[in-house]
Each structure stands twice: as C-alpha cells, then as structure tokens.
Amino acid sequence: MRTDAARNLELVLTTAARMLAADPGTTVAMIAAEADVDRRTVYRRFAGREELLAAVYQARLAAIEQAVEVARLPEASVVVALHRYVEEIIGVNRKWPVDLGRWKADPGARERRDRVVADVDAFLRRAVDEGVLRSGLPEGWLGAVLGQLLALGGRELSELSAAQAADVVVETFLRGAGA
C-alpha cells in the first residue's frame, strides 16, 4: 500500500472511531468529510458502512493486542507490567474510542477479544498470588474495576499524557485494591 493511501486509511479509521464513539449513527459521508477525503475514496476501500465499522473494530482490537504484548503481563514485575498495560490501553482508548463490547458481528474478533480478557485476568490472578493485589474480592471484580478506571482515565484525564494518566490510574487501582 502506498504511503499516502496508508495514511488516508489510518485517518479514515481513526476519524470513524472518534465520530462513531460520539454518535453511532454517523454516516460514511460524514466520516469522509471530517477526514477530508472523498466519499468515493472510502467506498473504494470499504463496500459499505458495516465493512468500515468492522475495520475500525479490527484496528482497535489489534491495538489492544499490541498493548498487552508491550506490557509483558506474564513475565514483567506486576507493578511495571500494570503501568505499561494501563499506559498503552489509555493510548488505545484515546485513539480508538469505540467500545468493542458492542461489536458482535465477527466470531473471530470475539475470540481475539476473549483471549485478551483471559490474558488480563491471568495477570490479575498473578498480582493477587504475588500479594500485590488483595485476595477475597468477588470473581471478576478486579478486571471490571481496572476496565472502568482505564475508560475513566482516558476520558477524564485527557489533559495528561498517557503516561501521566497511567500514574493516576495505577495509583488509584493499587490503593483501592492493593494488599
């Protein structure tokens, strides 16, 4: 793919993610106009709105998978891995603000999403086993709280860099659920 075509594709996808997060009824024409590309350019790449939506969700999912990989959840120290993960995911949430939970169209994407959730859950169990997080909390609670803090940190701490927002989120998480 040519450099300008790749840049246009990235621009269309990130614009679509931002606009769809604000208004799920956003049209392809509105996305093209906001991205400052011709509507025909979008339709040459995507057969329709659903195909564009699928590409946005796939891009978000790929960014999340990359974030999990960068964080090195299975092998890095818990606190370091947690901070890396939070910083990366805040960046993902800012760039790709659409909610994957609403996208149920592609079973392969669901499987990929479920693997990421399982990886994070395994990491959180390790954090409990190593005494960084407290035990005895309801099943799934730590993951749910962390997910909400990630969403809140990306949205409410927008004036901070992803690293600074991660500092706040990790501190809040560890003090609230710390051992």
CB count within 10 Å of CB 153 equals 27
Give the model's pLDDT for residue 20. Answer: 87
Q: Which residues pair with 178 in a beta bridge?
A: 133
In this predicted structure, what is the pLDDT of residue 109? 80
How far is 149 from 141, CA to CA, in rounded Å?
Answer: 12
Q: Which two tokens stand for residue 129?
A: 């086993």
| pTM, two decimal places | 0.87
Answer whether 92's CB lies under 8 Å from 63's CB: yes
Residue type, 157: L
pLDDT at res. 154: 86
Say which CATH architecture domain 57-177 belongs to. Orthogonal Bundle (1.10)
The structural domains of the chain, with segments of one domain joined by +, span 1-46, 57-177
* pLDDT mean for each 10 residues of the chain (179 residues): 77 92 89 91 88 90 96 97 97 86 69 92 97 94 95 92 96 83
Q: Which CATH architecture has domain 1-46?
A: Orthogonal Bundle (1.10)
30 to 94, 132, 146: CA distances (angstroms): 20, 47, 34
Question: Where does residue 65 rank: exposed (0-12), middle (13-18), buried (19+ CB within 10 A)?
Answer: middle
